[in-house]
Amino acid sequence: MFVSARASATTLTITRSFGTTVATAMVDGDGLYIIGNINEENASARNVNTTRSAKQTNYTQIFRTTIAVSGTEKASELYGGPDLPYLRAKKATEHALDIERAFWFGEKASDTSGTNSLPRRGTGGILEFIESGNSYVQNQGGVLTAPDFNTFLREGFTYGDSTKTLFSGGYVLQSVSEIARGQIQMRPIEKSYGMKISEWVTPFGSINIVHHSLFVEDYAGYAFLLDMQCFKYRYMNDRDTKLRTNIQAPDVDGQIDEYITECGLQRMQGPKHALLKGVTA
């Protein structure tokens, strides 16, 4: 077909047989494949059509983790060494886990219902972004079969990079291991995102598979196929993670430290990602 004019916002003027194909009536639901544009000799420049990205927003969230030891505890000689350095290391891990859980499962929110009526904001995570956006979501509702997983990969690789990362719970990983028996390769020594990864080259694209330790219980049947170029860690100026020491009141017989971070997750291009959920053993 040849589109000769745009009569209105919903009407096109077309020649149904432009070439050797015989003109055929269309029906509802027929797809259209745009080949390109065709122009007359010595014609003027074409109209300019510009695509603009839709504005996406998210909040930064304030994360705080407190460490406290009494004056007596701080002065004691303990079998395992001083308690404060140990607690700082332990609480640093807990602080990082709080942030990561928010990046996966948090929902974008802001309210002023606190004691001082000041804003309290939550950063939106990946699950919220995928389920509320234009991403492909496959609710398996049972055992994952090879045809079902191929459908998921076909849809998940429709847009974006040809290499994506699959963050997977145990049930999904168990099924994928059976489906791809002998085809998954472990990358020796190398770690990405702080986790060991496996690689599987499929006809749709390459998948970096990560068994995520946070995907347990209700999330063991979840897997996120992500184009990692579309996510960025964002923080307020001078508000990236830091350890504040000795923040206790002057009359406290002890020491209080605190990890504090004000950060959020930048999320882009929903159609480049996919979610598989509801997989059972």
Tell me what pLDDT residue 24 has.
87
CB-based burial, 60-71: b 16+ in 10 Å, e otherwise: bbbbebebbbee
Cα 60 to Cα 178: distance, rounded to the nearest angstrom: 40
pLDDT tens digits along 169-192: 999 999 998 888 877 765 644 555
Show me where the domains of the chain are located: 56-281
Mean pLDDT of the chain: 91
* pLDDT value at 10 more than 60: yes
Give me the percent of the chain exceeding a pLDDT of 90.
70
pLDDT band with cut points at 50, 70 and 90 for residue 60:
very high
> What is residue 213's three-state secondary structure?
coil
Tell me what pLDDT residue 193 has.
57
pLDDT band with cut points at 50, 70 and 90 for residue 116:
confident
pLDDT tens digits along 123-165: 999 999 999 878 999 999 999 999 999 999 999 999 999 999 9
Of 77, 72, 74, which Cα lies nearest the Cα of 87? 74
Helix (H) or strand (E) holding 234: strand 231-235
pLDDT tens digits along 227-278: 999 999 999 999 999 999 999 999 999 999 999 999 999 999 999 999 999 9
What are the tokens at 181? 């028996």
CA dist 6 to 9, 11, 12, 29, 31, Å? 7, 6, 5, 21, 19
- The residues, any chain, with a CB within 8 Å of residue 134's CB and separated by 6 or more, are 270, 271
CA dist 85 to 13, 69, 89, Å? 74, 11, 6
Helix (H) or strand (E) holding 192: strand 185-192
Q: Are 14 and 3 in contact (CB under 8 A)?
A: yes
